[in-house]
Structure 1
Amino acid sequence: MNYCKDDLDLEISVVNNPGPSKRATERQALPDELARYLRDMIIGGELRPGHRVNTPRLCSRFGVSRTPLREALKMLAAEGLVQLRPNRSAVIQRVSGDMINELVPIVGCLEALAGRIACQRIDAATLGDVEAMYHHLLSCLDQRDERSFIEADKAILRTILTVAGNATLSRLLETLMIKLRWQTAYHHAQHEWDRTVELQKQSRHALQIRDGDLWALVAQSYVLHRATLLLRDIDGTAGAKSRRPRPRSRLSSMVRPRG
C-alpha cells in the first residue's frame, strides 16, 4: 500500500501527540474523586462547620499526597463549602442565617418550577414510583430511621427533577442544596418528621391531580419548613457560645400561611 506524504505526516503527528496520557487523566480524576468524598463528609456532618481540615489525617486516610487533596479543597472552596486561609489551611464553611435568607427563596422557586413541569409530564408508572417512595417514607418514620428517611425524601425530589427534565434547573438546585447542607435540617429533629410526611402527602396529591399551582405552593411551604429547621440548628449551635438574641428571620415572609 502506498502512502502519500500527508498520510505519513498525519501518522507522525498522532504518534507525537497521542492526547492526554493515562497518568494525566488519573491526576485529574483523583482530585475530583477526593472532592466527592469530602463533599459527602461535609454534608453528612463528619467534617463539621467551623472546624479546620486536618490535612495530614485525610492524606493518611485516603492514601494520597497533599497536592491532589489541596486541589480537591480548591474545588470545594469554589462551591462555598470550604474557606481557604492565607496560611494554606482550610476551614469548613459555616451556614449562616444570612446565607439561608438569601438562598432559600431561590430554592423554593426552583422546586416550585420543577413541580409545575413535572405535573404536566408525569406518567402513571412514575406516579406509582412516587407512591411507593411515599410509603417507604412512612415506614422510615415509624422506625425512626434517620438515614433512610433522608434518602427517601431526597429520592422523591430526584424523581420530580428527572420528570421535569431540565438539566440546568437540577444543577442549580443541587448546588444550592449542597451549599445549605440541606439534609442536616433533619438531624436531631425527628419530632418534625410528621410535618415532612404531611407535606409530602400534599405534594403527592398535587401530582396525582396534575395541579402545578398546588404543587408549587406545597413545595414552597416545604422549603420554608426545612429552612426553619436549619435556622433552629444554627441557633442551637450559636446558643452554646452566645446568648445574644438573633434578629427575626425574613423567611416568614416567603410563604403566606394557608387559610
Structure 2
Amino acid sequence: MIVSGELPPGERLREVRICNQLGVSRTPVREAFRTLAAEGMVELLPNRSVVVAQLRSPDVEHLYQVVAALEALAGELACQRINEAEIAEIAAIHSDMVGCYERRERSAYLDLNHLIHRRVVEIASNPVLLATWESLLPRVERARAIANLEPSRWIAAVHEHSKMFAALAARDGALLARLTREHFMNGLKFVPTGDS
C-alpha cells in the first residue's frame, strides 16, 4: 500500500485499523512497522505513532542514481546472456504491461513493470548485483509508483520500456544501459518530495 501510493507520504498508520484491514493481530503489524522503518518506508515517532516516510529529494536522487547504475549494468550483462526463450518471455510481459496501461490498470501495470526489471537483473546472472538491487528495491519501487501517478510520466515510461525492450531483444548492451539510466532519471523529476 505504501509502494503503490495508496498510503501517501505523511499519512499516519493506525495499528488497529491496519490489523482489521489485513485480518492479523498486532504482533505482525508491529514487526512489519519495524521492518518498514529499517527500510526507510515509515518513521517511528517518539509518541509511538507511525507515519509513512516522506521522500526527500537528495535521498531519492541518490537512490535513483545507484539503482539506475545497477540496472544499466544488469542490462549490459543480460544482453550478453539472454536466450530466445527469455526474450520471448519478456516480450509477453511487456505486451501485457502495455495492455494494462491502455486499460489504466495501474496496480497490474506496476506489478508487470517490476517483473520486467527483475527478470533483466536475474538474467544478468550476478548474485551480488541481484542482492544489492533487491536491498534497494522497496524504496525505489515506491518512488517509481508515485512518479507514474503523473499521466505524462506514465505514457513516457511506457515508450521508454518499448525502446529498452528493443535494445534487449537486439542484445545491444550499451544502448540498453544508456536507455535504462535515462529511464530512471526521467522519472526522478516526477517524484514529489517532502522538501520541495
TM-score, reference length from structure 2: 0.87
User: Aligned in 2, Cα 1:65/1:150: closer, same or farther, shift over 3 Å?
Assistant: closer
Question: Which whole-Å deviations, capped at 9, do the CAs of 1:191-220 have from their partners, x for residues lacking one?
Answer: 333322222222122212212111100000
- Hey, what's the Cα distance between the residues in 2 that align with 1:62 and 1:141? 28
User: Aligned in 2, Cα 1:63/1:159: closer, same or farther, shift over 3 Å?
Assistant: closer
Corresponding residue for residue 88 of structure 1:
48
Does residue 1:186 correspond to 2:148, yes or no?
yes
Corresponding residue for residue 178 of structure 2:
217
Q: Is the 8 A contact 1:144 1:190 kept in 2?
A: no
Deviates more, 1:142-151 or 1:99-108: 142-151
Corresponding residue for residue 36 of structure 1:
none
Query: Which structure has more RCO (C-alpha within 8 Å, separation ≥ 6)?
Result: 2
User: Aligned in 2, Cα 1:147/1:69: closer, same or farther, shift over 3 Å?
Assistant: closer
Does residue 1:144 correspond to 2:113, yes or no?
no
The count of corresponding residues between Structure 1 and Structure 2 is 194
- Hey, what's the Cα distance between the residues in 2 that align with 1:126 and 1:111? 17
- Hey, what's the Cα distance between the residues in 2 that align with 1:74 and 1:103? 21
Corresponding residue for residue 228 of structure 1:
189
Deviates more, 1:124-133 or 1:178-187: 178-187
Q: Is the 8 A contact 1:104 1:224 kept in 2?
A: yes
Does residue 1:118 correspond to 2:65, yes or no?
no
Larger radius of gyration: 1
Q: Is the 8 A contact 2:147 2:153 kept in 1?
A: no
Cα deviation, residue 190, structure 1: 2.5
CA RMSD of aligned residues (A): 2.1
- Hey, what's the Cα distance between the residues in 2 that align with 1:114 and 1:174? 13
Deviates more, 1:119-128 or 1:72-81: 72-81
TM-score, reference length from structure 1: 0.67
Deviates more, 1:208-217 or 1:141-150: 141-150
Q: Is the 8 A contact 2:10 2:52 kept in 1?
A: yes
User: Aligned in 2, Cα 1:55/1:145: closer, same or farther, shift over 3 Å?
Assistant: closer
Cα deviation, residue 135, structure 1: 2.2
Cα deviation, residue 171, structure 1: 3.2
Which amino acid in the other structure matches residue 94 of structure 1? Answer: Q
Corresponding residue for residue 158 of structure 2:
197
| Counterpart among 130, 133, 136 of residue 170 in structure 1 | 130
Corresponding residue for residue 251 of structure 1:
none
Question: Which whole-Å deviations, capped at 9, do the CAs of 1:45-104 have from their partners, x for residues lacking one?
Answer: 233211222112223344544344222211111111111122222221111112112211
> Which structure 1 residue ranges, 5 or more long, are not aligned?
1-40, 239-245, 247-259
Corresponding residue for residue 42 of structure 1:
2
